[in-house]
Amino acid sequence: MRVTLDIKKLPDKWYNIIPDLEFEVAPPMSPSGYPLGFHDLEPLASHAIIEQELEKDKREVQIPGELHDLYKEWRPTPLHRAERLEKRLGTPARIFYKYEGGSPSGSYEFNTAVVQAFYASHEGTKQLIAATGNGEWGASLAAACNYFDIKCKVYMVRASYEERAYGRYVMELLGAEVVPSPNESTRTGSRVLSQDPDSSGSLGIALSEAFEEASKRDDAKFAWGTVMNYVILHQTLIGLEARLQMKEAGAQPDICISAVGGGSGFGGLVFPFYHERKEGGRFIAVETASAPSLSKGRFAYDYSDSDGFAPLLKMYTIGHGYVPPNIRAGGMRYHGISPLVSALYREKRIEAKTYTQRQAFEAGLEFARAEGFVPSPESSYAIKAVVDEALACKERKERKNILFLLSTNSNLDIAIFKDFLEGAVEDRLASDERIDAAVKDLPQVATG
Amino acid sequence: MRVTLDIKKLPDKWYNIIPDLEFEVAPPMSPSGYPLGFHDLEPLASHAIIEQELEKDKREVQIPGELHDLYKEWRPTPLHRAERLEKRLGTPARIFYKYEGGSPSGSYEFNTAVVQAFYASHEGTKQLIAATGNGEWGASLAAACNYFDIKCKVYMVRASYEERAYGRYVMELLGAEVVPSPNESTRTGSRVLSQDPDSSGSLGIALSEAFEEASKRDDAKFAWGTVMNYVILHQTLIGLEARLQMKEAGAQPDICISAVGGGSGFGGLVFPFYHERKEGGRFIAVETASAPSLSKGRFAYDYSDSDGFAPLLKMYTIGHGYVPPNIRAGGMRYHGISPLVSALYREKRIEAKTYTQRQAFEAGLEFARAEGFVPSPESSYAIKAVVDEALACKERKERKNILFLLSTNSNLDIAIFKDFLEGAVEDRLASDERIDAAVKDLPQVATG
């Protein structure tokens, strides 16, 4: 069953959760220990974006008319009920998913990519620069930059650049400049390569390189794909629409589930449900056992990139120096989780669950055979949690409403599922010892 | 701009063009020269499907309620106006496309796959058997079979089975049995392999093998993905919806364009516009220069498979024995074109255009950079014709409405575009001499 939403009901405001929180969220910080203000962030992002990042009072932020029209090209996105999956599981629970894979780039990340390209273009920026793991964020940004006739450059983690060509191909086909990270053209890249000429890179390194270039250039800005408040703000369209659609379906969610990498998909789905949650309602963030920031990290200020060019953020972190094992859900390998999501976890308003990639792929295949298409690796983590909750409902004979985010079209990732089917995928758990070592090395900040 | 259609306006009848044609369409024929009736086709397809194939009088065929509900999971599909592409081309023409890539399988072929699986399941069939080139039809059928809890077996052209793994992976992930064709398990396969143990196969051979197995088994039926009347009937939902949406947009099409492989996408889009076409309105079928059935073939009865197990069809054909050069738009390599589309071409009601794959890919990339996503190779052929017509409008300062079919989500095909970008794709034209030789070898039928 599909619940559509009339195009006229597309929300015209994003939702800012900060005024609705019962507690403070620690601000981004400079390495020398003072809270960052507008001017500190100016080299990195468009003015409108910085205002959104720092907005503490308005719970609704107006979407510019031109962007609202653009959103209508693919939004509202559909909400589906996965009745065939329910039947396969034999559960009395009702399973709903919000599907974001039908965006032009095939990913929910397009929701924020168009906003960042829009403001950049309106403020005279010529190029957006970003870091990407397996290429989904980069592909969304490349497409959005074309819409507004600005250039796009992407530092792509070298391991993915070389091994997982499809994500890179899409960016290149769309005309973006894609460079492998570490790259000799930056200070960070040179440093890393001088220590290890064969370095396969990490998202933290790619972020440092992209920050470094963006902050040195007057005609370019940096573009975050997740983590920051403003990215989650843009993603709240997901939850705002889902709220209307769940009402239409007569089903208030008992459990909302999303995978977390940096936290923007999770925040986008969950935040609009936060202050009208059911008595006993639950929000579950699903992590990979390869980078369990919420479950095993420390809540502290840490660098958001490897070399400390980017703001310090107070978040659950397994340490900016820790490079998680290489798994195919590249977006989930980041060392921290958005400060907003981290604060909610700290205050016990949300739960975290951790699964291995083999557990995720198995659940993803179960979904595919029921619903007709293969979900992305990231979304498969969410599905594993959904399946577990649905089976718990079966045992307890409870007819709960479970809502999850299916964030991304999966076709670029088919090969990894095939490897899994053939038994060629290993679980790669994070090392507790190495996390311990990495969090001992967190930066010292005055107020931290 | 996107033109949606309310889910309540999803058509509840398919459109059968046959009663509206001003001329006769030659029936399918047995190799011994008599028109095939219900009982001849019985081993191959469900009863309901055969009735649809032979339906000559009713111009509307009711969609069963259960199927209509299922269609609502992804239909009506959106109609888009490609304004950014118009702007890049500087054309006064308005370019619209009907987008079928948002179906669960990512392809328009799902429109008929669910119907065939539905009837098979209702008539007690345990398995559907099909032939596929690069795997898109097979993937749609595999997904549909899961919906109705029946098995799926696919003979896949060996060249694609080995080289183009993503299409095969999807079928296997969905639980289908995929075997390379030619295959020793069939008479046709044994014959071919005894002559050439390294044969890379062809769609005609795969069809023969699938027919052979389906006709020998009581519990299985064959499933066509294109060519036949009933497949086009199911695909008319595309054009029926587009007609409503173009009205909504206030734009009657001057030119309707679709790629043709077997003809089901073209027929699905164009037939519902046929009897309310504009004065001077045009319908353009776009072929690949690697298999130019309409442009260079002969209008005659020919086998629809390599070994003559399947019905003889009166169509434009470059000869069942001709194996076109290997191109990546695998669905366009079939040796003939649906009898309905062929008859319209014979009667000069539609036009054909021919392009090489490099021309198609170049237009596809132009589209991608404007609209944000890479179209499938097949749809790129249509886009090349669209671009040419839009540029002609520019030269003549005409504000025509151009409508085309974007049939398939492209992500499985990204690699070929990358090869193209790197200059590694060659044009592979069909050989006139070999076509001449192949059409000299057409079967002799009594009434042919």
**Residues of chain B positioned with their CB less than 8 A from the CB of A134:** none
Identify whether A125 is part of a domain.
Answer: no
Q: Please tell me the distance in Å from B155's CA to the nearest CA on chain A.
A: 19
Mutation target vs B (from A68, A145, A414, A417; most B CBs, 10 A cutoff): A414
Tell me the pLDDT band of A96, cut-offs 50, 70 and 90.
Answer: very high
Stretch among A322-326, A417-421, B38-42 having the lowest mean pLDDT: A322-326
Q: What is the mean pLDDT of residues A139-152?
A: 97
Identify whether B402 is part of a domain.
Answer: yes
Closest Cβ opposite residue B169 in set A80, A369, A415: A415
Q: Does the distance separating the beta carbons of A369 and B146 come in below 8 Å?
A: yes
Q: Identify whether the C-beta of residue B335 lies closer than 8 Å to the C-beta of residue B318.
A: yes
Q: Does the distance separating the beta carbons of A2 and B73 come in below 8 Å?
A: yes
Identify whether B122 is part of a domain.
Answer: no
Q: φ, ψ for residue B132 (rounded to 5)?
A: -140, 150
Closest Cβ opposite residue A147 in set B73, B84, B169: B84
Supply the pLDDT for residue A164. Answer: 60
Stretch among A105-119, A394-408, B115-129, B164-178 having the lowest mean pLDDT: B164-178
**Residues of chain B positioned with their CB less than 8 A from the CB of A170:** 374, 411, 414
Nearest residue in chain A measured CA to CA from B420: A173
Q: Please tell me the distance in Å from A51's CA to the nearest CA on chain B.
A: 28
**Residues of chain B positioned with their CB less than 8 A from the CB of A74:** 2
Percentage of residues in chain A with pLDDT exceeding 70? Answer: 99
Q: Identify whether the C-beta of residue A383 lies closer than 8 Å to the C-beta of residue A367.
A: yes
Tell me the pLDDT band of B164, cut-offs 50, 70 and 90.
Answer: low
Tell me the pLDDT band of A162, cut-offs 50, 70 and 90.
Answer: confident
Q: Is the pLDDT of residue A447 over 70?
A: no
Supply the pLDDT for residue A314. Answer: 96
DSSP letters of B198-261? T----HHHHHHHHHHHHHH-TTEEE--SSSSHHHHHHHHHHHHHHHHHHHHTT---SEEEEE-S
Q: Please tell me the distance in Å from B370's CA to the nearest CA on chain A.
A: 7
Asked if A2 has any chain B CB less than 8 Å from its own CB, the reply is yes
C-alpha B209/C-alpha B220 separation (Å) is 13
Q: Does the distance separating the beta carbons of B372 and A147 come in below 8 Å?
A: yes
Supply the pLDDT for residue B448. Answer: 42
Asked if A308 has any chain B CB less than 8 Å from its own CB, the reply is no
Range of the domain at A259: 66-106+229-439
Identify whether B116 is part of a domain.
Answer: no
Surface of B (310-339) touching A: CB under 8 A: none
DSSP letters of A152-214? EEEEEEHHHHHH-HHHHHHHHHTT-EEEEES-TTSHHHHHHHHH-TT----HHHHHHHHHHHH
Supply the pLDDT for residue A446. Answer: 53
Short-list A411, A361, A167, CA closest to B103: A411
Tell me the pLDDT band of A277, cut-offs 50, 70 and 90.
Answer: confident
Identify whether A26 is part of a domain.
Answer: no
**Residues of chain A positioned with their CB less than 8 A from the CB of B373:** 104-106, 143
Q: Does the distance separating the beta carbons of B102 and A80 come in below 8 Å?
A: no
User: How many domains, chain B?
Assistant: 1
Asked if B392 has any chain A CB less than 8 Å from its own CB, the reply is no
Closest Cβ opposite residue B374 in set A2, A102, A170: A170
Q: Please tell me the distance in Å from B106's CA to the nearest CA on chain A.
A: 8
Residue B313: strand pairing partners: B302
C-alpha B17/C-alpha B229 separation (Å) is 9
Cite the beta strand spans of B318-437 per DSSP E.
351-355, 401-406
Q: Give this prediction's pTM.
A: 0.96
Which residues 6+ apart lie within 8 Å of A424 measured at CB?
A: none
Asked if B87 has any chain A CB less than 8 Å from its own CB, the reply is no
Residue for token pair 């907003």? A340
Average pLDDT over chain B reads 94
The ipTM of this complex is 0.95
Supply the pLDDT for residue A113. Answer: 98
Q: Is the pLDDT of residue B51 over 90?
A: yes
C-alpha A436/C-alpha B143 separation (Å) is 46
C-alpha B99/C-alpha A105 separation (Å) is 14
B280: domain CATH number is 3.40.50.1100
C-alpha A224/C-alpha B298 separation (Å) is 58
Closest Cβ opposite residue A368 in set B84, B174, B373: B174
Asked if A86 has any chain B CB less than 8 Å from its own CB, the reply is no
What are the pLDDT digits (tens) for B253-307?
A: 999 999 999 999 999 999 999 988 888 899 999 999 999 999 999 999 999 998 8
Supply the pLDDT for residue B182. Answer: 96
Stretch among A131-145, A319-333, B81-95 having the lowest mean pLDDT: A319-333
Residue for token pair 């780039």? A105
Short-list B102, B113, B81, B132, CA closest to B408: B102
Q: Does the distance separating the beta carbons of B1 and A371 come in below 8 Å?
A: no
Task: Give the type of residue at B287.
Answer: E
Q: Please tell me the distance in Å from A86's CA to the nearest CA on chain B.
A: 13
Cite the beta strand spans of A230-276 per DSSP E.
255-259
C-alpha A268/C-alpha A254 separation (Å) is 17
Q: Is the pLDDT of residue A165 over 90?
A: no
Identify whether B57 is part of a domain.
Answer: no
Going by their DSSP bridges, the two strands B2-3 and A127-132 should be labelled as unpaired
**Residues of chain B positioned with their CB less than 8 A from the CB of A374:** 170, 173-174
Asked if B111 has any chain A CB less than 8 Å from its own CB, the reply is no
Nearest residue in chain A measured CA to CA from B106: A373
Average pLDDT over chain A reads 94
CB atoms within 10 A of CB B276: 9
Supply the pLDDT for residue A190. Answer: 97
Higher pLDDT, A134 or B16: B16
- Eight-state DSSP code of residue A117: H
Q: Does the distance separating the beta carbons of B169 and A418 come in below 8 Å?
A: yes
Q: φ, ψ for residue A412 (rounded to 5)?
A: -70, -15
Q: Identify whether the C-beta of residue A255 lies closer than 8 Å to the C-beta of residue A400.
A: yes
Asked if B371 has any chain A CB less than 8 Å from its own CB, the reply is yes
C-alpha A191/C-alpha A167 separation (Å) is 27
Identify whether A216 is part of a domain.
Answer: no
Which residues 6+ apart lie within 8 Å of B324 measured at CB?
A: B288, B290, B291, B318, B333, B335, B430
Higher pLDDT, B163 or B17: B17
CB atoms within 10 A of CB A54: 17
Closest Cβ opposite residue B80 in set A73, A166, A174: A73
**Residues of chain A positioned with their CB less than 8 A from the CB of B174:** 368-369, 372, 374
Higher pLDDT, B371 or B329: B371
Residue A302 token pair: 């840490």
Going by their DSSP bridges, the two strands B177-181 and B220-222 should be labelled as unpaired
Number of A/B CB contacts below 8 angstroms equals: 114
Residue B225 token pair: 């993905």
**Residues of chain B positioned with their CB less than 8 A from the CB of A417:** 169, 173
What are the pLDDT digits (tens) for B24-40?
A: 999 999 877 889 989 88
Identify whether B156 is part of a domain.
Answer: no
Q: Is the pLDDT of residue B415 over 60?
A: yes
Q: Is the pLDDT of residue A226 over 60?
A: yes
* Alpha-carbon dihedral sign for residues A148, B363, B238, A78: negative
Residue A263 token pair: 């936290």
Q: Please tell me the distance in Å from A414's CA to the nearest CA on chain B.
A: 7
What are the pLDDT digits (tens) for B397-412?
A: 999 999 999 998 876 7
DSSP letters of B284-303? EEEEETTS-HHHHSEEEEEE
What are the pLDDT digits (tens) for A9-61?
A: 999 999 999 999 999 999 999 877 889 989 888 878 999 999 999 999 999 99
Surface of B (419-438) touching A: CB under 8 A: 421
Q: Is the pLDDT of residue A330 over 90?
A: no
The CA–CA distances, whole Å, from B251 to A38, A95, B84, B96, B247 equal 48, 40, 18, 9, 6
**Residues of chain B positioned with their CB less than 8 A from the CB of A84:** 146-147
Q: Is the pLDDT of residue A284 over 90?
A: yes
Mutation target vs B (from A161, A169, A371, A420; most B CBs, 10 A cutoff): A169
Q: What is the mean pLDDT of residues A390-394?
A: 98
